[in-house]
Amino acid sequence: MPAPIQVWTWPTPNGHKVHIMLEEVGLPYEVVPINIGKGDQFRPEFLAITPNHRIPAIVDPEGPEGKPFTLFESAAINIYLAEKTGSALLPKDPATRYRCLEWTMFQMGGVGPMFGQYNHFANYAVEKLPYAIERYTNEVARLHRVLEKRLEASPYLAGPDYSIADICTFPWIRNAERRGIDLATYPAVKRWHDAIAGRPAVQRGVAVLAENQRRGGMTDAEREVMFGKTQFAVR
């Protein structure tokens, strides 16, 4: 059996992408919790893996050429894990592969950042700025419409089969009510969401560190760590 991959992570959508992927490909892994509300992401040992001090990151003791290998950025990690295992979750057919990467990048450049900005201004910011809340509320709805159009035409984002594009996007779509979204308004997205939510590997993946999932507001100390001077200090 291969040596466990260390996953430095926390129960956020980006963390869950990698938890799900590891469960889907069946690789052993060890969870290293990084409590982002307490500032664990600024610990020297974590910064040695990811200079961007963001979760998730991995340490694979049996990386390329059998040497230890570190990697950060959730989509990069999932592409790496698919290639490491030869998984069909990253399609081999060139056209389908690029379609998979297209929708993976759509999540990385659109769904994740825009949903994150909505969460910040609507839920975490002390000052409620109507312009910002309206702007990101509208963008969240627009991105759901883009997904709806794609999933009306295709069972999954890359085509007929489940792929890393779905794994990367699903954790951001779950708990839609937190963003004021009723998935019943987007029946194709709901069908896709429910199919993925029913997968055993997905259920195991989102259970990782679930006891630490944020439920409710943010303390002033957590807000300072995540959005204040601590976040922007020179290291």
Domain limits of the chain? 5-87+205-232, 94-197
CA gyration radius, the chain:
18
Burial label for 10, CB within 10 Å (0-12, 13-18, 19+), is buried
Q: Please list, in sequence order, all residues whose beta carbon lies within 8 angstroms of the beta carbon of residue 135, skipping any fewer than 6 positions away.
A: none
How far out from the chain centre does Cα 25 lie? 17
Written as one string, the DSSP assignment of 97-136 is HHHHHHHHHHIIIIIHHHHHHHHIIIII-SS--HHHHHHH
Q: Which fold has domain 94-197?
A: Glutathione S-transferase Yfyf (Class Pi); Chain A, domain 2 (1.20.1050)
What token pair was written down for 50?
């990811």
Write the CATH number of the domain with boundaries 5-87+205-232.
3.40.30.10
Does 94-197 match 5-87+205-232 at the fold level?
no
Contact call for residues 9 and 208 (beta carbons, < 8 A)? yes
Which tens digit of pLDDT belongs to each residue from 176-219? Answer: 998 999 999 999 999 999 999 999 999 999 999 999 987 777 88
Q: Give the pLDDT confidence of 44-97 residue by residue, as tens digits.
A: 999 999 999 999 999 999 999 999 999 999 999 999 999 999 999 999 999 999
- Name 48's Cβ contacts closer than 8 Å, sequence gap at least 6: 70
Per-residue pLDDT at 214: 78
Task: For 112-137, write each residue's pLDDT tens digit.
Answer: 999 999 999 999 999 999 999 999 99
Q: What is the pLDDT at residue 50?
A: 96
